[in-house]
Structure 1
Amino acid sequence: MYDLMRKLPIGIQTFEDIRRNNYLYVDKTELVWRIISTGKPYFLSRPRRFGKSLLLSTFEAYFQGRKDLFEGLAIEKLETKWEQHPVLHLDLNARKYETAADLTAMLNQYLEKWEAVYGDEKRDRSPEERFSYVIEQAFLRTGHQVVVLVDEYDKPLLQAINNLELLEEYRQMLKAFYGVLKSTDRYLRFVFLTGVTKFSQVSVFSDLNQLNDISLDYSYATLCGITHEELTSTFDPEIETFGRKNHLLPEEVVTAMKRNYDGYHFHQDGEGVFNPFSVLNAFSKLELGSYWFQTGTPTFLVELLQKSEYDLRTLLNGIEAPVSSFAEYRVDANNPIPLIYQSGYLTIKDYDRRFNNYLLDFPNDEVRYGFINFLIPFYTPMKNNDQGFYIGKFIDELEKGDYDAFLTRMEAFFADIPYELNDQTERHYQVIFYLIFKLMGQFTEAEVRSSRGRADAVVKTPKYIYVFEFKLNGTAEEALKQIEDKGYLISYKADHREIVKVGVEFSAESRNLSRWLVEMNN
Structure 2
Amino acid sequence: MKLIAQSENIENFSSNNYIYVDKTEYLYNLINNYERVFFSRPRRFGKSLTLNSIRTLFEKGVDPYFKGTWIYDKWNQDRYPVLHFSFLKYPTTNVKEFNHSICQTLRDFASCLNISSYTDDAKFTNLIRNIFSAMPYEMKIVVLIDEYDCQLSANINNPKLYEEFRLLLRDLYAVLKGEKHIKFLAVTGVTRLKDVSIFSVGSDIKDLSYHHAYSKMIGFTRDEIKKYYFDYLKIGVSCVENKSLETVTNDDVELFIDKIAENYNGYCFDEFCENKVFSTYSVNNFLQDIVQKRKVVFGDYWYDVGGIPSILKNYMESHDIDLKKFLSSEIEVNYDDFMNPTSLLDINENVLMYQTGYLTLKSEINRPFRIKLGTANKEVSSALSSLLCEKFFNSDAVSAYFDAGEVLKKGSADDIISHLNSVLASIPYDKYPIENEPILRALILMYLTGLKLDVRAEQENSKGRSDILVNFDTRRVILELKFSETGRDVDSLLKDAVAQIQSREYGVENLGDRELIQIACVFDASKDKRKITLFSVVDR
Alignment TM class, shorter chain as reference: 0.7 to 0.9
Is 1:426 matched with 2:433? yes
Cα distance, 1:376 vs structure 2: 1.8
What CA distance in whole angstroms lies between the structure 1 residues aligned with 2:93 and 2:524? 45
**One-letter code aligned to 1:37:** N
Distance 1:477 1:299, change over 3 A: farther
Q: Alpha carbons of 1:197 and 1:78: their partners in 2 closer, same or farther (altered >3 Å)?
A: same
Question: 2:421 touches 2:531 (CA, 8 Å); kept in 1?
Answer: yes
Give the secondary-structure state (helix, strand or coil) at the position aligned to 1:67: coil
For residues 370-385 of structure 1, what are the structure 2 equivalents within 5 Å? 370-383=383-396
1:489 CA displacement: 6.9
Tell whether the 8 Å contact from 2:266 to 2:277 is kept in structure 1 after alignment: yes
Check whether the contact 1:480–1:501 (CA below 8 A) recurs between aligned residues: no
Structure 1 residues 176 and 353: alpha-carbon distance in aligned structure 2, compared to 1, 3 A threshold:
closer
User: Are the structure 2 counterparts of residues 18 and 132 from structure 1 closer, same or farther at C-alpha, using a change threshold of 3 Å?
Assistant: farther
Q: Which moved more, 1:186-195 or 1:404-413?
A: 404-413
SS at match of 1:42: strand
DSSP 3-state at the match of 1:70? coil
Q: Name the CA distance, whole Å, in 2 between partners of 1:73 and 1:493.
A: 52
Give 2:493's aligned residue.
479
- Unaligned segments of structure 2, at least 5 residues: 243-251, 291-296
Question: 2:119 maps to which residue?
Answer: 122
1:292 to 283, 296, 302: 302
Matched-pair contact (CA < 8 Å) for 1:506–1:513: yes
Kindly indicate whether the alpha-carbon contact (under 8 Å) linking 1:91 and 1:152 is maintained by their aligned counterparts in 2: yes
1:217 and 2:231 aligned: no
Asked whether the 8 Å contact 1:456–1:469 carries over to 2, the reply is: no
1:325 — aligned with what? 337
The 1:262/1:212 distance shift into structure 2, 3 A limit, reads same
2:182 match = 188
What's the offset of the Cα at 1:345? 0.9
Q: Tell me if the contact between 2:501 and 2:518 (Cα under 8 Å) persists in the aligned partners.
A: no
Q: Are the structure 2 counterparts of residues 507 and 66 from structure 1 closer, same or farther at C-alpha, using a change threshold of 3 Å?
A: same
Distance 2:491 2:394 in 1: 30
Report the secondary structure of 2:339's partner residue. coil
Tell me the CA shift for residue 84 of structure 1: 1.2
Post-superposition shift, 1:321? 2.6
Distance in 1 (alpha carbons) for counterparts of 2:116 and 2:434: 61
| Alignment match, 1:90 | 85
**Gap change, CA 1:151 and 1:233, over 3 Å in 2:** same
Give the equivalent residue in structure 2 for 1:234: 228
> Which residue of the partner structure matches residue 525 of structure 2?
507
| Residues in 1 aligned to 2:465 and 2:490: alpha-carbon distance in whole angstroms | 14
Closer, same or farther in 2 for the Cα pair 1:507/1:468, shift >3 Å? closer
Aligned in 2, Cα 1:158/1:508: closer, same or farther, shift over 3 Å? Answer: farther
TM-score, normalised relative to structure 2: 0.84
Residues 221, 270 of structure 1: 8 Å contact kept: no
Is the alpha carbon distance of 1:404 and 1:29 closer, same or farther for their aligned partners in structure 2, counting shifts above 3 Å? same
Alignment check: 8 A CA contact 1:455 1:483 kept: no
Cα distance between partner residues in 2 of 1:428 and 1:366: 29
TM-score, normalising length: structure 1: 0.86
Instruction: Determine the C-alpha separation between the residues in 2 that align with 1:246 and 1:494.
Output: 26
Task: Tell me the alpha carbon deviations over residues 45-77 of structure 1, each in whole angstroms, 9 at most, x when there is no partner.
Answer: 011111111111111111124231222211123
CA-to-partner distance for each residue in 1:113-137, whole Å, 9 max, x for gaps?
1232323632225211211232343
Q: Alpha carbons of 1:294 and 1:354: their partners in 2 closer, same or farther (altered >3 Å)?
A: same
Cα distance, 1:404 vs. partner? 2.5
Percent of matched pairs sharing the same residue: 24
Q: For 1:311, give the aligned amino acid.
A: D
Shift of 1:369: 0.5
Q: Which amino acid aligns with 1:292?
A: W
Structure 2 counterpart of 1:42: 37
Moved more, 225-234 or 333-342: 333-342
* Matching residue's letter, 2:187: L
* Structure 1 gap segments, 5+ residues each: none
SS in 2 for 1:206: coil
SS of structure 1 residue aligned to 2:162: helix
How many residue pairs match? The answer is 501
Give the 3-state SS of the residue equivalent to 2:456 in structure 1. strand
Specify which of 277, 284, 292 is matched with residue 281 of structure 2. Answer: 277
Summarize deviations over 1:215-235 as a string: whole Å, max 9, x none.
000000001011100000110
Asked whether 1:133 is paired with 2:126, we answer no
Range that drifts further, 346-355 or 186-195: 346-355
